[in-house]
Structure 1
Amino acid sequence: MFTELAEGGDNAIAVTLGVLGDEWNLWILRHAVAGCRRYGDWIAQGSISNSVLSKRLTQLTELGLLDKVRYSDRPVRFEYPLTPRGLGVWPALLSMWVWEQAWSPESSDILPSMRHGTCGATFTPVLVCRACGEPCTRRDVSADLGPSGDWTRSVPASIGRRRSTSTRQPSQVLPHTMELLGNRWSAAMIGALFLGARRFGELAERTSAPPAMVADRLHRLEALGVVETSPNPARPNWVTYGLTAKGEAFFPVVALMIDWGQQWFRAPEGPAIRFRHVVCRKDFHPVLHCNVCSQPLRGREVLIEPPASGP
């Protein structure tokens, strides 16, 4: 059952960013997909403190991604299995891992490899239109804001704070992903660029960000290699902004996150954004297929293999 959001409040995109734009939530969900269910399972993975784990498990349970099930009476203890809503996050997590492997080689952690249980091959997921089964890139999909898609409703304040260098963070498995999703203005800029904004003024207007913040975030996104500038033919002293190949390649992450969010968190006014596949002209809902056997990937058929140990 989906959660109905408050009229005029945060939309599905804001809720999704609030959940998946938090490094510890991603860390917990990543290990939950790999089989963690009990408090000690996560503690054994290292990095996380008791207070942070307790807070995040409570949040993820309240949002319906984890269930809380008593498994011991003396002492009273609980385990936290993934719900169908939580299990539905795995395609987005998988696309994050693949994007990091391709575009963030400096990651300090070795990412797990994935094997498709159906064909037995180590695979790379392919983004596919659910309606027609054809592979898609960002340029094959059009996007329009829906009834609840106002920018002020799409980015949660909870991911607006800068990271503190003195605060313990999860191991940096997804460093560039968190640069894009873990800051509210970076996430807003990426969304506006995917929707076609190109000029500085357009980005400021669409995101409602102060000009100084727009400049700061664009500078950071350029430094990450996600955004590039080109001369503005209409104004020689101005530039336009666009996504690089690295930025374009982030589209599966964005599409899968939004599709998941709008499935499980619904505003009464309607969706925040509507995707359409320009080839089949139907609503676009992303799914992942195996690049080896071309069959749909399903959570139970994706086998997570621990990274090989160093010498």
Structure 2
Amino acid sequence: MAERPSAIGQALLAICDQWTLLILQRAFLLHIRRFADWRDELGMSESVLANRLKEMVAGDLLRPVPYREQGRTRTEYLLTERAIELWPLLVEIWSWERRWVPRRVGLPELTHDACGNRTDVELGCESCGQAPVTARDTVTVRGEATFAQVTVPRHHRRTVRGERDPLSYFPETFELLGDRWSTVILAAAFLGMRRFADFQSELGVAPSVLSHRLRRFTELGVLAVEEPGARPRYRLTDKGLDFFGIFAVIVDWAQRWYSGTDLEITHRTCGKPFRPYLRCRSCGHPLRRTAMHFAIPPAGAQ
């Protein structure tokens, strides 16, 4: 019998799919809650959208609620508490893309309502209040789960989207998040794995798959080859290390909503478990979901 997915394995199954992330993003930013609105906004086929909504309801990310329209009973979908707690992930993805991925279409601007400034965010430690915190300020160690419980297969093939509008995440982002091996290879890199053989033995990934992912991560500037040759050694670049905020938010969310301890992240400064929070770079105060908004640039803005 196959092992049950670990907490992070369950989280990756639930959210690390590009359509799922875009459905959640539109629900947060545009308050979309109806089938036709998601279909028209994202350009999804009705069959794909229906399948994702069904999965998200089963995964307790959306809650179906009936409503009446023109004498007919229809269904709209509201974010559950589990899904609402993903808002820092969406903000961290936006912030990472803002810093590292050039694009032709302008990104939305984040405004912190409490101070009134257009701003960016900094990652902090909720245990001690210190911010900013980077990957170098933390220690990540393996928990009780095996990587076989984390690298569970997704139900869908990955499809890379282009830059269709200011809200769509980049294909580059989906290469790091929308594939069952990619996020786990990054997690292994944060754990200190550097050699091809170490990745392969720990993750149980096929050599051809691992070679492809490591090559793509190098092309994307997330990993760099320190010792080329027969036994190359890889290290996270500054761009790769900066993905830590997204990684930490996923780990924290997974361990609050699913059973099992996969990875333990400790903040070196306070010695306590690292619980990520976001703060406004302009005023230094914690960012709250209800005290921020994104200003979406008009069509054609650069």
> Which TM-score applies when normalising by structure 1?
0.88
Contact 2:163 2:170 in 1 (8 A): no
Secondary structure of the 1:266 match is coil
| Matching residue's letter, 1:20 | I
Aligned: 1:264 with 2:260: no
CA distance in 2, matches of 1:261, 1:237: 37
Q: Which residue of structure 1 lines up, in the alignment, with residue 210 of structure 2? A: 214
Q: Kindly tell me: are residues 27 and 296 of structure 1, through their superposed partners in 2, closer, same or farther at Cα, counting changes over 3 Å?
A: same
Aligned pairs for 1:25-104 within 5 A: 25-34=20-29, 35-72=31-68, 74-104=71-101
Measured after TM superposition, the shift of residue 306 of structure 1 is 1.2
2:251 is paired with a residue of what secondary structure?
Answer: helix
Is 1:145 the counterpart of 2:147 in the alignment?
A: no
- Note closer, same or farther for the CA distance 1:128–1:212 as it changes in structure 2 (3 Å cut): same
Q: Percent identity?
A: 34
Contact 1:110 1:173 in 2 (8 A): no
Would the alpha carbon gap of residues 228 and 43 (structure 1) be closer, same or farther in structure 2, given more than 3 Å must change? same
CA distance in structure 1 between the partners assigned to 2:129 and 2:140 by the alignment: 19
Secondary structure, aligned partner of 2:247? helix
Conserved in 2, the CA contact under 8 Å of 1:228 and 1:241? yes
In the alignment, structure 1 residue 196 sits paired with structure 2 residue 189: no
Deviations 1:22-55 (A, max 9, x none): 1100110000001111223213314112212211
Distance in 2 between the 1:46 and 1:219 partners?
30
1: distance between equivalents of 2:40 and 2:86? Answer: 23
Question: Contact (CA 8 Å) 1:159, 1:183: kept in 2 or not?
Answer: no
- How far off is 1:8 after superposition? 4.0
> In the alignment, what sits opposite 2:271?
281
Further displaced range: 177-186 or 244-253 = 177-186
The answer to whether the Cα contact below 8 Å between 2:32 and 2:38 also exists between their aligned partners in 1 is: yes
* Distance in 1 of aligned mates of 2:3 and 2:45: 36
- The corresponding residue for 2:179 is 183
Q: Would you say 1:15 and 2:10 are equivalent positions?
A: yes
More divergent stretch after superposition (170-179 vs 26-35): 170-179
In structure 1, give the amino acid aligned to 2:72. Answer: P
Taking the aligned partners of 1:240 and 1:160, their CA distance within structure 2 comes to: 32
- Residue of structure 2 in register with 1:155 after alignment: 151
Q: Distance in 1 between matches of 2:105 and 2:41?
A: 13
Question: What does residue 3 of structure 1 align with?
Answer: none
Q: Deviations over 1:128-156 (max 9, x none)?
A: 00011112100111111112x21000122
> Which residue pairs with 2:290 in the alignment?
300
Q: Is the 8 A contact 1:24 1:170 kept in 2?
A: no
* CA–CA distance in structure 1, aligned partners of residues 45 and 267 of structure 2: 44
Task: State the 1:281 CA deviation.
Answer: 0.4
| TM-score, structure 2 as length reference | 0.91
Give, as a single letter, the amino acid of the residue that structure 2 aligns with 1:263: R
- Say whether the 8 Å CA contact 2:105–2:300 is kept in structure 1: no
Q: Distance in 1 between matches of 2:181 and 2:107?
A: 27
1:101-112 aligned within 5 A:
101-106=98-103, 109-112=105-108
Deviation at 1:169, TM superposition (A): 7.8
Which of 225, 231, 244 does residue 227 from structure 2 map onto?
231
CA distance in 2, matches of 1:282, 1:227: 28
Give the Cα separation in 2 of the matches to 1:86 and 1:160.
20
Aligned mates of 1:229, 1:33 — CA distance in 2: 38
SS in 1 for 2:119: coil
Superposed CA offset, 1:253-272 (max 9, x none): 000011111111113xxx11
Code of the aligned partner of 2:14: V
Matched-pair contact (CA < 8 Å) for 1:48–1:170:
no
Name the aligned partner's letter for residue 126 of structure 2: R
Query: How far apart, in 1, do the equivalents of 2:27 and 2:295 lie?
Result: 14
Q: Look up the SS of the partner of 2:282 in the other structure.
A: coil
State the alpha-carbon separation in 1 of the partners of residues 61 and 281 from structure 2.
28
Gaps of 5+ in 2: none
The number of residue pairs the alignment matches comes to: 295
Structure 2 residue aligned with 1:246: 239
- Does the CA-based 8 Å contact 1:47-1:170 persist in structure 2? no
1:290 lines up with 2:280 in the alignment:
yes
Runs ≥4 residues deviating over 6 A: none
